[in-house]
Every structure is written in C-alpha cells, then in structure tokens.
Amino acid sequence: MSRALAALALLAVFIAPVIAPIAFAEQKPVTITIGALLPLTGDLSDYGARQKATLEVAIQDMNKYLAEHHAWFRLALAVEDTATQPDQAVQKFNALVARGIKFIIGPMSSAEAKKVKDLATQQNVLLISPSSTADELAIPGDNLYRFCSPNSVEADALVKLMQDLGIKGIVLIVRADTWGEDLKKAIMENAEKAGIEYKPALEYNPESPNFGAIASQAKTYVDDLAKKYGKPHVAVVVLAFKEAVQLMTEAANYKTLRDVLWIGSDATAKLASISQDPVVRQFAKETLFINPLYSPAATENQRKIAEKVKAMIGDVPDAYSYAGYDAVVAIALALMKAPPDIRNNPDKLVDFVKQQLDNGLTMSDEFAKLSATGKFPLSKAGDRATADFDWWIVYDFNNKWDWYLVGKYYGLNQTNKWYKINGVTYPELVKQKFGGAVATTTQAPQTTTQQQTTTQPATTQAPATTQQTTTTKKGGSNTGLIVGAVIVIIIVIIGAALALRKK
C-alpha cells in the first residue's frame, strides 16, 4: 500500500507542472485598432477636437467593459487629421488601411465621406460617420453607416421653424460642396411645399469665397422679398462651416441684413469662433441667428462622458461626439459576438459587424446600457432613422456672451417647444426685434444655458502599428474550466490515496 501511495504521489508531482501552467496561464487578448478620420484642423476643427477626446474616453470605457467580460480582444485608437479636406481624407484613409485597420470612425463631413465611401466598400473597411448628413450618401449595402440623421430630417426642422416664425421668403447662402448642395435641395423642396418663396441660392467656393459680393447680392434679394412680404417675414438661411464668421463680418456692413432673421444649420451651431468674435456675435444677436443641432436622447452615460471629456480638454462633447462614442460601443459589442473561427479573418469580422448592425444591434438592451444616446433604429441605408434637434442662439443674457439652448424640435410629431430664458422665449424675442405675428409653443420655464466652452487639442495617443497585436492584459474565459479540472484531478488523487490507506 505504501508503494501505491508513493506512486500516486509521484504521479501528482509529474502532472502538476504540466497542468498548472495550462490552468493559470493568462490568455492574451488581441488588440483591434479603430481608426478615426477627424478634422483636427480646417473648417470643422471645433468638432474634431471634441470628437477625438470623446473617442479616447470611449476606448477607455469599452476596454474596461471588455476586461470585465474576459473578451478575446481590446481596443486601441489611431487618429488621422483630414483638415476637413476630401482629398486629405482619402490620403489619411489609405494610411490607416495600410496599417491593417478595418474599422474607422468618420469622416465627419459629407464631402469627405463621399470621397472615401467607395474605397471603403472596395476594400471592405467599415466606416461609421458621426456627422455626415447628405441624403445622396444614404445607400443600402455599402460600407458607410451614419449614426446621425440625413439632411432631409434637418430640412424638416428648418422649414417648420420658418413656418412657426411666420417666414414667407428666404435668401439661401450655400457652401458649394456635397453637404451644402444636398441640404439646400432638401430645404427648397420643403419650402416650396410650405409656400415659402426662395431666391436663387448664393453659392460660394469654400476654397476661395467672395463674401463681399455674396453679402451685397443677399442685400438686394432681402430688399426684394421685404417689399413683397415685409422684413418680419424674411430670413437669410446660411449653410456654411466655420467660414460663416467671414460671411457675417461682411454682412454686418449692411443694415438691411442686420434687420432680418438669420437661420443657420448644424454646421454652425455652437461654434466658438462665432460666440467669441465681438463683431460676429453682435451681428448674431441682432439677427437672432438660430441654429439646429442634432439632439440625441439624454442618458446617465452622457453626464459621465461629459465629465471625463471636460477634464481632458476643458470642453464638453457635442451631439456628434456622442454619436462617435456610440460607434465605438457598437463595434465592440458586435466583435464580442464574433465566433472563434473568424476572429483571425479581418474581412469576415467586418462582414459580421455589418450584419450585427443591420440586425438591430443599436436597438439592443446592452447597447442602450453602454451607449451615450440610448437605443436608436437604423434605416435600410444604415443611417439613424429619426432625430430631434436643439435650437441654439448666441446672446448676452445677464451680460454673458454664450451659446444658449432656447428650444427643441421633436421629429416624430414635427413640433417645436420653446424654453424661457430670463422670462422670455425665442419667438417672443423675434417678435420684439422684428415685429409680426409669431406662433409660439412654450414649455415649462427653463434657465439652463448649457454653455459652449473653448476647445483645446487633446493629447495625441500613440497609435498601434497593426490591427491585431498581442497585449499583456489579463483575460480568457476558459481559465475557470481548467482550474475546475485541476481541482477534480487533485480530489481523485487524494481519494485514491485515502482508499489505499484504508486497505
């Protein structure tokens, strides 16, 4: 019996060194790098800085989640500056793809997205734009998904605003690019249905705009419409990026242009360059320059994300930043479901993530729990299907110049609700300034200002050199099973030893 016992002990000595490394070895998750094509410089640089910081927070948050769930991968971020230039967006896209990156957030402008989307489909790279809105890019089956609503939805909001404010004639000043042309077309179609007259659009080349001539012609158009309808019923509609500052500087020279309402778009909403320029902000106040900005559903996650981003760059995310955050969440959740047999095949992973998005991933409870904007449906073209918009103006309430939230457009029932600031609603301001009859729909009084703060470049993160590389982070979902097997073996050995001793 002592020999049998010794044999069992010897067996345990030999088995232990073999099993122990298997049981307690840490599986090393691969790193999947998500690329980002962002306008860190150029006309949309205000948005680019906030987007970059928010994506960095998203990567941190999701890596914590992935570690807690022992996922087979972790995420890294590689950011490239497109300078808001379509040709540079192509160059930076190619640079990311050359590094093996198959998932990219961006580009932000529709002109950039249009230039890149065919390349992405050809090379099977998934693009999720947080802010491209041109309707012409809503194409089912391609590799461009958009976590914001298309221009047709924003056009609905803009024309509803015009109707509520009694506008009967408009002058359109339009950036001549994919986004501007697309939104202009949607506004004209809606305005015509609503019986609102529009003059021939004043278009400009963003590379070499002649805003002096544009402002002069706009003055002539406004005079014509004012003779027909009266100034209270005329508005100038500006579809521009950051160059709106130059346009408004020129327009400030014309009293006629200061005496009518000005309406902007999502591309000029909350621009610091407008609220901080003394001449331009005064012009914006005089014209009650109002801008819609896509407004996702508020969630508890938004507050936490905003705190982290503000700690990084001194600014809070905008709606498109949250859409970028959600893109990271969607990619991560989809990849977690990928079966083991495709995890080493980048093209199959892209196809799998697309399939998950098409099958309603953004409407899942887990996505709602982790995302910044909650559940939302995607259209057949892969775009956000519904949207609300906040209304923002530049004003000096209580002698403090800032962007102020004055109302909200609800897309489902196409209605506007207005908030009271210092006891007055935006339609009441319009009536006080320009006169005329204004339809008002007010909500409970609010004094929240939700200020625009200065944007600062975020610290650059060192990008990973490959799409999938090994890391030293802990993980592995099989460890528990192996440890259990070791315990069973040890129990069997001890049981056999006790049985021999009894004999």
CATH number, domain containing residue 255: 3.40.50.2300
Q: Is residue 439 part of a domain?
A: no
Q: What is the model's pLDDT at position 297?
A: 82
**Distance (Å, whole) CA 219 – CA 199:** 12
Q: Is residue 451 part of a domain?
A: no
Measured in whole angstroms, the distance separating CA 44 from the mean position of its chain's CA atoms is: 13
Residue 19: domain span: 2-26+480-502
Per the structure, how many domains does the chain have? 3
Q: Name the token pair of 166.
A: 């009694």
**Distance (Å, whole) CA 291 – CA 248:** 14
Is the same domain home to 48 and 22? Answer: no
Is the same domain home to 280 and 179? Answer: yes
Q: What is the residue type of 336?
A: M
pLDDT tens string, the chain, 503 residues long: the values are 445 444 444 444 444 444 444 444 457 999 999 999 999 999 899 899 999 999 999 999 999 999 999 999 999 999 999 999 999 999 999 999 999 999 999 999 999 999 999 999 999 999 999 999 998 999 999 999 999 988 999 999 999 999 999 999 999 999 999 999 999 999 999 999 999 999 999 999 999 999 999 999 999 999 999 999 999 999 999 999 999 999 999 999 999 999 999 999 999 999 999 999 999 999 999 999 999 998 988 888 999 999 999 999 999 999 999 999 999 999 999 999 999 999 999 999 999 999 999 999 999 999 999 999 999 999 999 999 888 999 999 999 999 999 999 999 998 889 999 999 999 999 999 999 998 655 545 454 444 334 333 333 233 333 333 343 333 333 344 444 444 544 545 554 555 444 444 44
Report the greatest alpha carbon distance in the chain.
115
pTM of the full structure: 0.71
**Distance (Å, whole) CA 201 – CA 181:** 10
Is the same domain home to 190 and 215? Answer: yes
Is the same domain home to 309 and 288? Answer: no
Is the same domain home to 286 and 306? Answer: no
Q: Is residue 114 part of a domain?
A: yes
Is the same domain home to 131 and 184? Answer: no
| CB proximity list for 311: less than 8 A, separation 6 or greater | none
Is the same domain home to 280 and 399? Answer: yes
Is the same domain home to 93 and 183? Answer: no
At 235, which helix (H) or strand (E)? strand 234-239
| CB proximity list for 279: less than 8 A, separation 6 or greater | 248, 249, 252
Is the same domain home to 92 and 227? Answer: no
Q: What is the model's pLDDT at position 436?
A: 67
Is the same domain home to 189 and 283? Answer: yes
Q: Is residue 440 part of a domain?
A: no
Q: Is residue 442 part of a domain?
A: no
Q: What is the model's pLDDT at position 412?
A: 82
Q: Is residue 475 part of a domain?
A: no
- Contact between 133 and 112 under an 8 Å Cβ cutoff? The reply is no
Q: Is residue 376 part of a domain?
A: yes
Is the same domain home to 122 and 57? Answer: yes
Identify any residues that bridge with 261 across adjacent strands, giving them in sequence order: 235
Q: For residue 39, what is the DSSP state?
A: -
Is the same domain home to 349 and 302? Answer: yes
Q: Is residue 274 part of a domain?
A: yes
Three-state DSSP class for residue 166: coil
Q: For residue 378, what is the DSSP state?
A: B
Q: Name the token pair of 296.
A: 């996702």
Any idea of the CA torsion for 395, 399, 400, 401, to the nearest 10 degrees?
A: 40
